[in-house]
Amino acid sequence: MTAKVINRVESKIDVGQETAKFTLSAFGVVSVLIGIWGTACLIGGLASSGAGGLLQGYVSALTGM
């Protein structure tokens, strides 16, 4: 004689918490990518005009002179 056994497992998922986890992870990844991009731009600016030129450009951008 064979008997069929059916196990029923229920799991409760908090959709709000899972959405918050995903959103936090996505913002974390985006912020890391923005940081990498900013660092690459800074290195590019230093390579093209040097530290003095970069500082002069920054000051002139702030003051408008």
Tokens representing residue 36 in the block: 């990498």
Q: What is the pLDDT of residues 5-59, one digit of tens each?
A: 888 888 888 899 999 999 999 999 999 999 999 999 999 999 998 999 989 988 9
Q: Is position 12 within any domain?
A: no
Q: Report if residue 1 sits inside a domain.
A: no
Residue 26's CB is within 10 A of a number of other CB atoms, namely 10
Q: Can you tell me the distance from the alpha carbon of 34 to that of 24, in angstroms, rounded to the nearest whole number?
A: 15
Q: How many domains does the chain have?
A: 1
6 domain-assigned = no
Asked if the structure places residue 58 within a domain, the reply is yes
Q: What is the pLDDT of residue 11?
A: 83
Asked, for residue 52, whether it belongs to a domain, the answer is yes
User: Residue 60's pLDDT is what?
Assistant: 94
Domain for residue 60, yes or no?
Answer: yes
Q: Is the model's pLDDT at 1 over the cut of 80? A: no
Q: How far is CA 59 from CA 22, 43, 45, 46, in A?
A: 40, 18, 14, 15
Q: In which domain, by residue range, is 59 found?
A: 34-65
Residue 3 lies inside a defined structural domain of this protein = no
Residue closest to 42 by CA, chosen among 52, 54, 32, 34: 54
